[in-house]
Amino acid sequence: MNKPLKARYLIETSFELEKAAAILAGEQSSGTFVKIPGETDELRERSGAEILSIEPLGTVNSPSLPGARQIPDTPIQQAVVEVCWPLANMGTNLPNLCATVAGNLFELSPFSGIKLMDLEIPSAFADRYPGPSFGIEGTRSLTGVYDRPIIGTIIKPSVGLTPEQTADRVKTLIEAGLDFIKDDELQGDSPHSPFKERVELVMQVINQHADRTGIKPMFAFNLSGDLDDMLRRHDYLLENGGTCIMVNLNWVGISAAVRVADHSQLPIHGHRNGWGIFDRSPILGIGFSAYQKIWRVAGIDHIHTNGIRNKFCESDESVISSIKSCLEPLWGGYPIMPVLSSGQWAGQAKDTYDQIGSVDLMYLCGGGIVAHPSGIAAGVRSIQQAWDAAMNGIPLTDYAGKHQELKEALDFYG
């Protein structure tokens, strides 16, 4: 039935690589630690996972993680292993796909390191999961922004502002020309900023701006919470003219996110906070390429990737690889929009563009816009100018010669 599910792992073990891979494949399919009655050759043939390839990477001096069984006097090797499973093992069921490729295997005793690096999900999943409803095109259509990144910011302080203060802030930001604004991920539905009141006051500001100018900036409201609350909040937001919902992916979880996506008439801004748990260790967890595929199958329209030269621990190489993985079509579609943020200002535009060759992204700046010496509107313009320069292959410093806001940004932040 259909094409198999494939997963690529980075492993670390003192076992023979073939043996370690066989234990992984066995544990995650028909087998267990030992061959047991009922695991017939026929059943194993039908349901066993298969090892497709093993690529040794070299040795390490000491185990990266504690607890593994070490074969005495044997080097510890790292390797890339590809495993595949018959689709019939899990059916087209996203949580069970995850249990298969990312279940009990992280504690298997031969491994002093194991990380799911990438996934190939069978296209049969498309029958059940229609994927992002809006993606890049839908988001452009709602914001009216084409042929350049969608430029955005985040409401700060993260928490503590009242709905009135938030709406005031939004007014300032959209009058300065921002395309997109989002709640901080910590801001949900709290006593000091109840969701409904925040929506009502913020959307009043945005709707009035849209009536006046014909431009409707997008605000991603964080509706993360219990499922029925999320659905109600979506409906309330829709009634009030809202154009985007935000979900804290890791804490709402896959099944509820799928339910929200099934229900939603708005794009879903996927916030990956907590992602460091999955991907910060080089040798444990789930790499972003696999991670984003799970979420785009779930129906998420935007996903955070960090930007280059960010203020977190993530390297530029990792950031660029994440952005590229989002821009890679899945089954010829399922477009998900990467969201670049953290320490971003005009200065990273060209280097980012040179490496990804696309403007299909959101570019979120905090201080990189609002701290611009000539004000927020100048900050927004400096970002637009920087991306103009990038797209036209012009060094930022050259372009700054005729573009005052960019020049000021380079002088101030550079």
**Cβ at position 360, least distance to a second copy in Å:** 24
Return the number of the residue (50 or 137) whose C-beta is nearest a second copy. Answer: 50
**Cβ at position 296, least distance to a second copy in Å:** 16
Say which residue the tokens 């905090």 belong to.
Answer: 366
Length of the chain: 414
**Cβ at position 320, least distance to a second copy in Å:** 15
Amino acid identity, position 282: P
**Cβ at position 331, least distance to a second copy in Å:** 19
CA distances from 227 to 192, 243, 298 (A): 21, 19, 15
The closest alpha carbon to 317, from 305, 299, 329, 331, belongs to 305
**Cβ at position 96, least distance to a second copy in Å:** 4
**Cβ at position 67, least distance to a second copy in Å:** 3
Return the number of the residue (77 or 89) whose C-beta is nearest a second copy. Answer: 89
Q: Which residues contact 159 (CB under 8 A, 6 or more apart)?
A: 184, 186, 187, 190, 192, 193
Q: For residues 196, 199, 201 and 202, what is the CA-based torsion angle, rounded to 10 degrees?
A: 160
Return the number of the residue (21 or 68) whose C-beta is nearest a second copy. Answer: 68
Contact call for residues 76 and 119 (beta carbons, < 8 A): no
- Structural tokens at position 182: 């989002």
Quote the CA–CA distance of 294 and 410 in Å, as a whole number: 38
Amino acid identity, position 320: I
Phi, psi (rounded to 5 degrees) for 152: -140, 175
| 369-372, Cβ contacts within 8 angstroms, sequence gap of 24 or more | 369/151, 369/153, 369/176, 369/178, 369/345, 370/153, 371/412, 372/405, 372/408, 372/409, 372/412
Q: Which residues contact 45 (CB under 8 A, 6 or more apart)?
A: none
Return the number of the residue (144 or 282) whose C-beta is nearest a second copy. Answer: 282
**Cβ at position 389, least distance to a second copy in Å:** 26
Return the number of the residue (145 or 284) whose C-beta is nearest a second copy. Answer: 284
Return the number of the residue (58 or 67) whose C-beta is nearest a second copy. Answer: 67
Return the number of the residue (44 or 394) whose C-beta is nearest a second copy. Answer: 44
